[in-house]
A and B are shown apart, each in its own frame.
Chain A
Amino acid sequence: MVSIDVWNASVDFPIFDAKTRSLKKKVLGKVGGKIGTESRVPIIEALRDISLSLKEGDRVGLVGHNGAGKSTLLRVLAGIYEPTRGSSRIVGRVAPVFDLGVGMDPEISGYENIMIRGMFLGMTRKQMSKRVDDIAEFTELGDYLQMPLRTYSTGMRVRLALGVVTSIDPEILLLDEGIGAVDAAFLNKARDRLVDLVKRSGMLVFASHQDDLLFELCDTAIWMDEGHMKMRGSLREVLTAYKGRDPFAHLDPPQPVLTNSGDS
């Protein structure tokens, strides 16, 4: 049984510049007395008072402007950031996909990168060896997997990363918007695998700006604004409020509760 609970969580980032991140100020600072603002490390409040309970089967979309705290919230849910105030509890194996490039070493071969990334996502070396052929076929990289990653084009790297991610069996899947930013042709192919992956995973939280992807993967949504949850509800409800219009009006027949008059 997987679950994520977050209680009254706030996340503050200390911002050290080269000077404050040193002992010098701590030691020398004692001599001259405190200099008001300089004695404290400035902080950025990234999240404020988030309370949230997610359980098995939840498919949550995260929407909001840039800098609204979507990525930070995802990292709290992954357990990478533990709340500076409040608390969180994560039960289950988390597979976060925030940045397709991280954990990729340009000097080692694509094959070795697949192994390492898979192991970081909770797979064993044996399990990954079984999946390598499947990944090679999906990414269409073939013999290129023997080449060092630095010889890959950006598109090929994205293929590799998506291949690894969609081959694992996560309990909790956390996707950041970066994954939607691949070229359309490959994404169409990857989409089926992505949908399949989401079906296999016990829980999904997906931050994205793409309505159609959200529509395909999520059923509820959270609207983040300036570090707090502005709204939470069904995906359509939240997106309508966030965008000021119903983004799915053209995708499916309007729901019975809504009137037909506003439809174009």
Chain B
Amino acid sequence: MPAISTAEAPIPAEPIPATARTFARALADIRGGMRERELWSHLGWQDIKQRYRRSVIGPLWITLSMAITAIALGLLYSQLFGASVGTFLPYITVGFIVWQFMLGCLVEGTETFIANEGLIRHLPAPLTLYSFRTAWRQVLLFAHNLLVYLVVVAIFWSDLATPGYVLSEGGIPQPGLSWSIVLAIPAFALLALNGVWVSLLFGVISTRFRDIPPVINALTNLLFFMTPIVWTTDILTSKFGAATSDWRILIAELNPLYHYIEILRAPLIGGVQSWHHWAVVGGLTVVGWGLALLVLRNYRSRVSYWV
């Protein structure tokens, strides 16, 4: 049997530097993902159409189910907390819409690479592409839910535009809807930016450790009730005083999701805006992207082996 015939067997003249685990490759992956926006935006939209294929009203089901939930929760909790429906229903609606976006990024983020197993194993593409697909799908769902917000604001405009309205009795007066609503745009951009790192980081970890998705799923209900969505921080402060050192106040303040919700909810319902929410979200964005980059650097090349 002949050995490797060397006559026609060119091999590289010199060793090739191993670049698999470098930040340069991780950043190149992100750049590559951004370059493919035509593909991931197409796939993300396809995912939505796919989910409602052959249904009569299609993606409007997203809007409709959000509307039903918002109305029911708004009516119920405004009565439970003795609050005015006109302001409490929009509060819950917006909180729930933002929550749905964050939950989607987290839960579907863990499945990002597992769900794209076939594509990852057969076609070379930047990993970030799949994270963008997941995040973009959530953005589109959010856009559908925004219709509910627009209707709710139109109905309760007079309540929300009144300066000094309170969410629940004894709460802090809210400034009311004003031009500051434009802050919702950078707030949402920041949220979407966070959606991408969440999907990258949790996606890679979940691909390696398949226990993570069920763990996250098990925690979602707890997170929902721990976060001021159907209740307000007003209730905490009116019961326990405004001292921020009280552990019961810290329940909200130490919950990162509260800050994420607040930067978008406050401008949308004309609530009090506080810079400290922006600071916390900004900090978490930097830390999150840092972690995602680190994971991408170390494990990017392993994902195709793990799926």
Contacts of A103 in B (CB 8 A): 118-119, 122-123
Whether A22 sits at the interface, judged by CB under 8 Å, is: yes
Shortest CB–CB separation between residue B36 and chain A, in angstroms? Answer: 8
**Beta-carbon contact of A98 and B122 below 8 Å:** yes
Stretch of A85-93, A132-140, A194-202 at the chain-chain interface: A85-93
Interface string of B99-136 (1 = CB under 8 A from A): 00000000000000000001111111100000000000
**Beta-carbon contact of B122 and A125 below 8 Å:** no
In the complex, A112→B49 CA distance in Å? Answer: 12
Shortest CB–CB separation between residue B230 and chain A, in angstroms? Answer: 32
Interface string of B48-61 (1 = CB under 8 A from A): 00100100000000
Give the residue name and chain of the A residue nearest to B212 (CB): A23
Interface string of A111-130 (1 = CB under 8 A from B): 01001100111001100000
Whether B209 sits at the interface, judged by CB under 8 Å, is: yes
**Beta-carbon contact of B4 and A229 below 8 Å:** yes
Give the residue name and chain of the B residue nearest to A237 (CB): B5
**Beta-carbon contact of B15 and A87 below 8 Å:** yes
Give the residue name and chain of the A residue nearest to B19 (CB): A87
Whether A1 sits at the interface, judged by CB under 8 Å, is: no
In the complex, A124→B35 CA distance in Å? Answer: 11
**Beta-carbon contact of B15 and A82 below 8 Å:** no
In the complex, A235→B5 CA distance in Å? Answer: 12
In the complex, A241→B43 CA distance in Å? Answer: 47
Give the residue name and chain of the A residue nearest to B210 (CB): A21
Whether A34 sits at the interface, judged by CB under 8 Å, is: no
**Beta-carbon contact of A87 and B210 below 8 Å:** no
In the complex, A18→B306 CA distance in Å? Answer: 12
Give the residue name and chain of the B residue nearest to A228 (CB): B4
**Beta-carbon contact of B119 and A53 below 8 Å:** no
Given contacts A102-B119, A229-B4, are A116 and B304 in contact (CB under 8 A)? Answer: no
**Beta-carbon contact of B50 and A108 below 8 Å:** yes
Whether B179 sits at the interface, judged by CB under 8 Å, is: no
Whether A230 sits at the interface, judged by CB under 8 Å, is: yes
Give the residue name and chain of the A residue nearest to B122 (CB): A102
**Beta-carbon contact of A94 and B124 below 8 Å:** yes
Whether A13 sits at the interface, judged by CB under 8 Å, is: yes
**Beta-carbon contact of B5 and A232 below 8 Å:** yes
Shortest CB–CB separation between residue B53 and chain A, in angstroms? Answer: 6
CB-contact partner of A79 in B1, B38, B122, B124, under 8 A: B124
In the complex, A85→B9 CA distance in Å? Answer: 21
Give the residue name and chain of the B residue nearest to A104 (CB): B118
**Beta-carbon contact of B4 and A87 below 8 Å:** no
Whether B283 sits at the interface, judged by CB under 8 Å, is: no
Contacts of B119 in A (CB 8 A): 102-103, 120
Interface string of B11-24 (1 = CB under 8 A from A): 11101111110000
Shortest CB–CB separation between residue A104 and chain B, in angstroms? Answer: 9
**Beta-carbon contact of A5 and B305 below 8 Å:** no
Interface string of B143-158 (1 = CB under 8 A from A): 0000000000000000
Shortest CB–CB separation between residue A222 and chain B, in angstroms? Answer: 9
**Beta-carbon contact of A22 and B8 below 8 Å:** no
CB-contact partner of A96 in B9, B53, B123, B304, under 8 A: B123
CB-contact partner of B121 in A6, A80, A107, A230, under 8 A: A80
Shortest CB–CB separation between residue A116 and chain B, in angstroms? Answer: 7
**Beta-carbon contact of A52 and B11 below 8 Å:** yes
Question: Which residue among A6, A21, A78 has the maximum number of chain B CB atoms within 10 Å of its CB?
Answer: A21
Whether A81 sits at the interface, judged by CB under 8 Å, is: yes
**Beta-carbon contact of A7 and B211 below 8 Å:** no
Kindly identify, within residues 1 to 41 of chain A, every residue whose CB is under 8 Å from any CB belonging to chain B: 5-8, 13-14, 16, 18, 21-24, 26
**Beta-carbon contact of A51 and B11 below 8 Å:** yes
A/B interface sample: 28 pairs, CB < 8 A: A7-B11, A8-B15, A16-B306, A22-B210, A22-B211, A52-B11, A80-B121, A80-B123, A82-B301, A86-B18, A87-B17, A96-B123, A98-B122, A102-B121, A102-B122, A102-B123, A103-B122, A105-B46, A107-B53, A108-B46, A108-B50, A112-B46, A116-B39, A229-B4, A232-B5, A233-B8, A233-B9, A241-B2
Q: Knowing that A8-B15, A82-B20 touch, tell me 11 more A-B residue pairs with CB under 8 angstroms.
A: A21-B209, A51-B12, A53-B13, A55-B10, A80-B121, A82-B301, A86-B18, A103-B119, A116-B43, A231-B4, A233-B7
